[in-house]
Amino acid sequence: AEKIGIQEEKLLQFHNSNCRDFNLPWFNNLTGVQKIIIPKNYKSPEQIWDEISERLPPKSMLKEIYEEKYLVKEIFEQMGEEKMQYEYLFELNLKQEKEIWIAETKKLRYITNQETPDKKTSSIALLCIEAVSPIPVIISNIGGTLGILNPEDSEKKFKNKRKEIEGFYTDDISKKYLDDFQKELSVDGNFYQQICSSLLFQSIFPSLELFWKRKKFARKLFIILNSFPVECEFTPHFQIDDENIVINFFGKIIEKCTLSELLQNIREEKDEDENPEKYIDGQINLSYIFNSNKKLINIEATVFLWNDNELYLYHQLKMSQNE
């Protein structure tokens, strides 16, 4: 074991799991054993981690980590509602300013349920987002979103575009939506949380230290838009080949939380004797692919949310290089 650089227990396990194929005896100790099976290309856990860590992205933000454009496809299914499919181009321009980064983001070529809308048929929500794009999101030097740069500028941009939008939407309901959207853009509004709590932004701008996690870890995620984040536990898994490294995070919700709390964005006091079946059950899987230049080329995020043993929410997001 010392000669080939393997732990004695690992060598014993390897021999015993393969001995039948070679008509050799299984053993607990070496008494009377004349031949043992050894792995041809054994690598210790530390050797494997050394190979993995050479392929991981840096722990500090670099512009070179990201592509300038990604093709995004989303599937959104919620109990009692129509299945929605979205496809768009996500444009990303990263600029460094002292200890922070500014990510100017924009969605282009929007397709909903395989149809490309023009301005007259496009949703009012989409036109409002287009009016304030590109959205300048502040990114920490170690990854993760911090806010929106100069939110008052977004409000000014929207005011300038509002008359054009009102040319297509003249009813009272649309006017109220535009009023509410403008209010959310203000300094005291929730526009930042709505943007950065989306599955898209949570997936593409995680803390970079997550890619270096070797054991289970906890992280809070927004599962439902415009609600509070819930505690989740993730198990990392790494896979490398000649060109890419794939980093998977297999997660589940570990916080006691009800669907009603999430939908109303209100946390309630918990009773230790409460029936645990009333709490939601959720699974969140994240997958990242970095190429040999440590550039992020693919992301896949999937959310399953069960309530009373029934699937309440399914949300899948796929981002790939725009070729």
DSSP state, 21?
G
Contact present, 183 and 189 (Cβ < 8 Å): yes
**pLDDT score for 247:** 97
Digit-by-digit pLDDT tens for the chain (323 residues) are 888 778 888 888 888 888 888 888 888 877 777 888 888 877 777 888 999 999 999 999 999 999 999 999 999 999 999 999 999 999 999 999 888 999 999 998 888 888 876 655 458 888 888 899 999 999 999 999 998 888 889 889 999 999 888 888 888 988 999 999 998 888 777 888 888 889 999 999 999 999 999 999 999 999 998 899 999 999 999 999 888 999 999 999 999 999 999 999 988 876 665 666 689 999 999 999 999 999 999 999 999 999 988 999 999 999 998 66
Sign of CA dihedral 132, 133, 134, 139: positive
Q: Please, what is the end-to-end C-alpha distance for the chain in angstroms?
A: 49
Q: What is the DSSP string of 89-150?
A: EEEEEEEEETTEEEEEEEEEEEEETTB---TTTS-HHHHHHHHHPSEEEEEETTBSEEEES-
Count of C-beta atoms within a 10 Å radius of residue 116: 11
| 151: exposed, middle or buried (Cβ count in 10 Å: 0-12, 13-18, 19+) | buried
CA gap 30, 214 in Å, rounded: 34
Distance, CA of 296 to CA of 319 (rounded, Å): 10
Decide the pairing of beta strands 245-253 and 230-240: antiparallel
Residue 188 gets which letter from DSSP? T
